[in-house]
Structures are given as structure tokens and as C-alpha cells.
Chain A
């Protein structure tokens, strides 16, 4: 399995608090992605990174920020969590953007509940 670790695996927090999710990889892949998964929506891209300090927005980026100061770590931050951000969050990595030679590999997900 591709070496991806998401932390924490589960988190419960209150509305208005800041939350940071971490994705750590040991594969030295260039591309890293954050998705959220909600019933009826599948997986939707929040932000992605194509290199250290190089990031871009996905389709549901409002309320989220990311940082990538090292190849191996990609952080997702909710500056002030809202109940609508309750979801399962997945990190994925890939050496190329097209997933052809090596597809995106996913972490095990973080279940985040905001009360």
C-alpha cells in the first residue's frame, strides 16, 4: 500500500473552533489532494498541491485553507469550523496528475464531526 497517513482518524469539535487535519506521505509524490465525502455528493475536491508551497483550489474550497511546506506533509485547516463541514475527509497522493501510470492513492479518511 502507498504510504499515506491521515491524522487524526476521528475528531469531534465545536462550531467556531479551528481544526487542522494532517496528511503525511512517504512516497515522495508530487501531487497531494484533499477531498470531502458526503452522502449524495461522492468525493469533492477541496484543495490540491502540485509541489511544495504550490496549491490550488478545488470545487468546494470555501472555508478551507491548505499548506504544504514539505513534500511529505499537506495540511488542511478549517479556520472556524461550521456544522456544514461535518464530513469524512480524504487525502490522496499521486506522482502525476493524470493517475494513468500510477493512480491516486487514498488515505483511510478522517471523520470530522462539528457540533
Chain B
């Protein structure tokens, strides 16, 4: 079975600083996709960033970037210049071709003013 592990239930960071959220996954496939979703208190699920496994280059979206280590099955999210609006639950998710996303248990990120 697919598993996605987020080992940090909670993280906090000072405003304007950088924080990295960890995610590891388990798969025997070579072609798959990975995602980070953000869930603010409004409960909406918002896609932050995605990575295709066959691409070696790490995905970047403005202040958000990933460190994708395929051999280690690691997919961490780095948030630079943290802002108060970044406070949310962050979910890592994995898709490997079976029409289903598998989500991790989430990391709650707090931004300290």
C-alpha cells in the first residue's frame, strides 16, 4: 500500500524566516507525482506545488520550493520569507497512477509575528 509520512505534526517559524516541512513516501513505481496542499483555517484545500518524479529539477512557485530526493523518497517543502498568511495545515500527497491521491497526516504551521 502507498504510504505518505509527515513526521512533524506541528512546526513554527518567525515571520520572514525560512521553514522546511518534511515528507517521505513509499513506492515501487518509477513514474509518479507529488503534491503539497495547504489548508488554511477556512478549510479550503489549495494546491501549493507539484513535482513530476521523472523531472530532476526541483519545482518552485514563488516563495515555495521543494527538495525532491527520489532515491531517498523524500519530498520536503521550503517556504521562504514566511508570511502570516502562510499559517495553515500542509499536506503532502502522492499519486502513482491508480487514480487516487494518498495524503499524509499533515503538518500544522504557525507563523510567529
Contact = CB atoms under 8 A, between A and B. Distances in A.
Interface of A: 31, 33, 35, 40-45, 48, 50, 56, 58, 88, 90, 92, 97-100, 103-104, 106, 108-109
A100 B43 contact: no
Contacts of A88: 43
Contact of B33 (A45, A98, A106): A98
Given A43-B103, A97-B99, A98-B97, A106 B44 contact: yes
Contact of B50 (A41, A58, A99): A99
A23 to B, nearest CB: 14
A13 to B, nearest CB: 20
A75 to B, nearest CB: 19
A97 B101 CA distance: 9
B99 A50 contact: yes
Given A42-B91, A99-B95, A100-B50, A108 B101 contact: no
Give chain B's interface residue range (CB within 8 Å of chain A): 20 to 34
Contact of B105 (A41, A56, A106): A41
The 7 closest A-B pairs by CB, nearest first: A106-B45, A97-B99, A42-B103, A43-B103, A42-B105, A103-B47, A109-B43
- A44, A99, A103, A109: most-surrounded residue (chain B CB, <10 A): A103
A36 to B, nearest CB: 11
Contacts of A43: 45, 91, 101, 103
